[in-house]
Amino acid sequence: MIDMTRIAIIGDGLAGRLGALYFARQMPGVEITMVDPENPDKPIVGESTVEVTAQFMKSLGLGTYLEENHKHKYGLTYYFKLPEDENDPDAPEYILHEAPGVVRLPAYNLNRHLFDAELGRRIDPYVSHIKGKVTDVDFSEDMDGTHSVKVMTSDGDMLTVEADHVVDCSGRARVLTRQMELEMDPPYQRSSYWFRLSGFDRSILTGLKLVKPKHHCYDSYYVTHHFYGQGYWIWIIPMSSEDGQDMVSIGITYRSDVSGEKAMNMDKMLEILDRDHPKVAALIRTGNKVDEARYFNYLYEAKKYYDPKGRWFMLGDSAFAFDPANSFGIAYLGHQVPQITSMILKARKGMLSPDYVMAMEGHVKSQLTVQDQLSQRYEVMHDPIKMAWTLVFNNMAYFHILLPDFISGAFLNAGVAKRLSMVLKRMPPMKQGPAYPFPMILDKLAMTDDADEIIRRAPAFYDKAIPFNYYRPDDINRGRLAGGYFYKRAWMRNKALKLLQWWKEPSLYRLAAKGYLGSLGDLLVAGLLTLRPQAYDRVTSKEPEMMSAFTPPSSFLFPPKSEMMAHEAVVEEMPEKMEKKPEMAATAAVA
């Protein structure tokens, strides 16, 4: 067993700081050295969090900070454009789908500049910082060997940092990917342009003419707003500025091969919005641009993400770039950091199995299947009916399957991770199915340009499809929740068939028969999982080397109270013990 663990983190961005704080809290006494060239002008994006992200940040001791310094986010809100009615100036402009009430699991819209600075302050007592660039990493062949990180400091000196594990958080610099020649072309590409806006007239956004369910639970301004068009989507994220004033992040992400757009700037974005969403363009023109950033064809991948021997790990954007839709990138950090911690804890005990590492990597790769589905979705983003159904369906899967796996800690079990990688098995682009559910039904359902019909055929099912009522791991019966997913999938398919009114058209009889047969299959699975929810857990690995390093599994987020009290006592002592770390870094072996 290894008494002391030394971790070298390459990169001081969001991934590196979240990882460092989690490592320090979960592995008291760990020695962390962080190497970064300190580029203050690198673009920042990722202001919107979802429930997974917020729970992970709460486990880092950030819960009170988020409540007191950042805006609550009441879900993801989607605007689906309706055809313009020139004869009725009061006709609705959009169908709005939003959360039907306050979700018991909180989420936040972040001012990333403030948030990142706070993370920097929190990790500072526990981390040795070296300002410089990693030029090479020399890995030992042994699982428990010492690895050498070669660094050229900003002063031009060459240093060597010795570590038991190396975590690459270098983002788009992709230090380990390039060193080991693991680059891989993604099947699709994406481009993005975004900026922060202050001094705007928010009444333009809140004054849109909408078809929406009525509620009195929250102010619909405090959400993440999504608008759609041919091959692109727009986000608007409310946040607070450094002086507490209103500010928003606004951006566009697009597939240039679908939208026809290449380079993007403010003028080009306003031209698109004047055509498709003129009120959003008007909102932008009332404000002042604070800053801006852009990426063209920014997606990339690597062939591997975790070393089977546990010597190195790629975290965040150093592994692959995400589409920012639904805040997937920052959310998946909440999965990867505990995965890496579990593998390091196992390595400290001499229990790390290559099979366990590969199972965790399979979980990472399953997210690329989700990425491919997002890529295909750009082809139908202008279609309000297909997008409305797709987003309900995806949120239903998230709340019934992915979120319970996360909160319970089940995703850190090799058997559970392997099941997800099988369900979300990645296929070549030519073999991928449509990115929307029930394609034969929705293809027919979407064949209308009538505003009233679009409203009828794109109902908001969130109050029926999403289980908003759980928030702790001991409340989660994952088998019954999975059964609920299959039951609701059958219900949604049957609802789509009913909206299609298939009985009026004989040519639709065969389509209806196939649809109801599919629903019958879903209901049988739902019944089995409701009566025997333990069947859902049969894939769970029981061998110690394939199980989570956290006991109980949910303790990666929610440590037992006695353990938390002992841990906090250790953390209180850590700053005093760690004061000499910068000096240790400065006297690292000279290359």
CATH number at residue 277: 3.30.9
pLDDT band at residue 588 using 50, 70 and 90 as cut-offs: very low
Q: What is the structure's pLDDT at 575?
A: 41
pLDDT band at residue 577 using 50, 70 and 90 as cut-offs: very low
Beta bridge partners of 248: 197, 238
Q: What is the structure's pLDDT at 215?
A: 81
Task: Show Cβ contacts of residue 213 under 8 Å, excluding neighbours closer than 6 positions.
Answer: 98, 100, 460, 463
Q: How far apart are CA 450 and CA 265, in angstroms?
A: 34
In a shared domain, residues 136 and 241: no
Q: What is the structure's pLDDT at 46?
A: 67
Among 22-26, 105-109, 452-456, the range scoring the smallest mean pLDDT is: 105-109
What average pLDDT score do residues 253-280 get? 95
pLDDT in tens, 49-83: 998 999 999 999 999 999 999 999 998 999 999 99
- Tell me whether residue 384 is in a domain: no
Question: What distance separates the 2 farthest-apart alpha carbons in the chain?
Answer: 81
Q: How far apart are CA 163 and CA 194, in angstroms?
A: 38
Number of domains in the chain: 3
In a shared domain, residues 258 and 277: yes
- Max mean pLDDT range (40-49, 163-172, 565-574): 163-172
In a shared domain, residues 332 and 468: no
Q: How far apart are CA 79 and CA 94, in angstroms?
A: 6
pLDDT band at residue 86 using 50, 70 and 90 as cut-offs: confident
Quote the tokens at residue 168. 């690459």
Quote the tokens at residue 6. 């030394």
In a shared domain, residues 173 and 317: yes
Residue 11 Cα to chain centre, angstroms? 20
Quote the tokens at residue 346. 């196992």
In a shared domain, residues 404 and 509: yes
What average pLDDT score do residues 353-362 get? 98
Could you say which of 260, 276, 295 is where a domain stops? 295
pLDDT band at residue 529 using 50, 70 and 90 as cut-offs: very high
pLDDT band at residue 474 using 50, 70 and 90 as cut-offs: low
Q: How far apart are CA 210 and CA 56, in angstroms?
A: 34
pLDDT in tens, 169-191: 999 999 999 999 999 999 999 99
Determine the structural domain holding residue 343 and report its residue range: 1-41+110-182+303-351+562-591
Among 43-47, 549-553, 573-577, the range scoring the smallest mean pLDDT is: 573-577
Q: What is the structure's pLDDT at 380?
A: 97
Quote the tokens at residue 536. 């859902």
Is residue 552 reached through a cis peptide bond, with omega within 30 degrees of 0 on the bond before it?
yes
CATH number at residue 23: 3.50.50.60
pLDDT(44) > 50: yes
Quote the tokens at residue 487. 């039951």
pLDDT(572) > 50: no
The string over 365-385, giving b where at least 16 C-beta atoms fall within 10 Å of a residue's C-beta and e elsewhere, is bbbbbbbbbbbbbbbbbbbbb
- Tell me whether residue 54 is in a domain: no
pLDDT band at residue 569 using 50, 70 and 90 as cut-offs: very low
- Tell me whether residue 566 is in a domain: yes
- Tell me whether residue 409 is in a domain: yes
Residue 385 Cα to chain centre, angstroms? 25
**DSSP character string of 5-49:** -EEEEE--SHHHHHHHHHHHHHSTT-EEEEEE---TT------B-
pLDDT band at residue 327 using 50, 70 and 90 as cut-offs: confident
Strands 183-184 and 6-10: unpaired
Could you say which of 278, 295, 312 is where a domain stops? 295
In a shared domain, residues 143 and 269: no
Q: What is the structure's pLDDT at 566?
A: 45
> Which of 494, 483, 485, 490 lies closest to 525 in space, CA to CA?
483
- Tell me whether residue 360 is in a domain: yes
pLDDT band at residue 401 using 50, 70 and 90 as cut-offs: very high
pLDDT band at residue 586 using 50, 70 and 90 as cut-offs: very low
Q: Determine the residue type at 493.
A: R
In a shared domain, residues 498 and 554: yes
Q: How far apart are CA 238 and CA 164, in angstroms?
A: 42
Q: How much is the CA Rg of the chain, to the nearest whole Å?
A: 25
Quote the tokens at residue 221. 């301004």
Q: What is the structure's pLDDT at 473?
A: 59
pLDDT(424) > 50: yes
Among 147-161, 356-370, 462-476, the range scoring the smallest mean pLDDT is: 462-476
pLDDT(153) > 80: yes
| 135 or 566, higher pLDDT | 135
pLDDT(243) > 90: no
Contact 433, 439 (CB under 8 A): yes
Question: What is the percentage of the chain residues whose pLDDT exceeds 90?
Answer: 79
- Tell me whether residue 526 is in a domain: yes
**pTM (2 d.p.):** 0.93
Among 1-10, 258-267, 282-291, 327-336, the range scoring the smallest mean pLDDT is: 1-10
In a shared domain, residues 418 and 539: yes
pLDDT(242) > 70: yes
Average pLDDT of every residue of the chain: 91
DSSP, res 376: H
Q: How far apart are CA 254 and CA 189, in angstroms?
A: 9
What average pLDDT score do residues 10-25 get? 97
Q: HEC profile for 201-268?
A: CCHHHHCCCEECCCCCCCCCCCCEEEEEECCEEEEEEEEECCCCCEEEEEEEEECHHHHCCCCCCHHH
| Element (DSSP H or E) covering residue 411 | none
In a shared domain, residues 547 and 569: no
- Tell me whether residue 228 is in a domain: yes
SS3 165: strand
In a shared domain, residues 534 and 572: no
Q: What is the structure's pLDDT at 467?
A: 83
Contact 388, 458 (CB under 8 A): yes
Q: Determine the residue type at 104.
A: R
pLDDT(563) > 70: no
Task: Show Cβ contacts of residue 324 under 8 Å, excluding neighbours closer than 6 positions.
Answer: 45, 46, 192, 235, 251, 253
- Tell me whether residue 66 is in a domain: no
In a shared domain, residues 532 and 504: yes
Q: What is the structure's pLDDT at 3?
A: 61
For the four alpha carbons of 238, 239, 245 and 248, in that order, the dihedral sign comes to negative
pLDDT(394) > 50: yes
| 116 or 241, higher pLDDT | 116
Element counts in the chain: helices (H) and strands (E): 21, 20
Q: How far apart are CA 369 and CA 432, in angstroms?
A: 9
Could you say which of 270, 295, 320 is where a domain stops? 295
Residue 68 Cα to chain centre, angstroms? 23
Q: Determine the residue type at 447.
A: M
pLDDT(562) > 80: no
pLDDT band at residue 471 using 50, 70 and 90 as cut-offs: low
In a shared domain, residues 132 and 235: no
What average pLDDT score do residues 387-398 get? 95
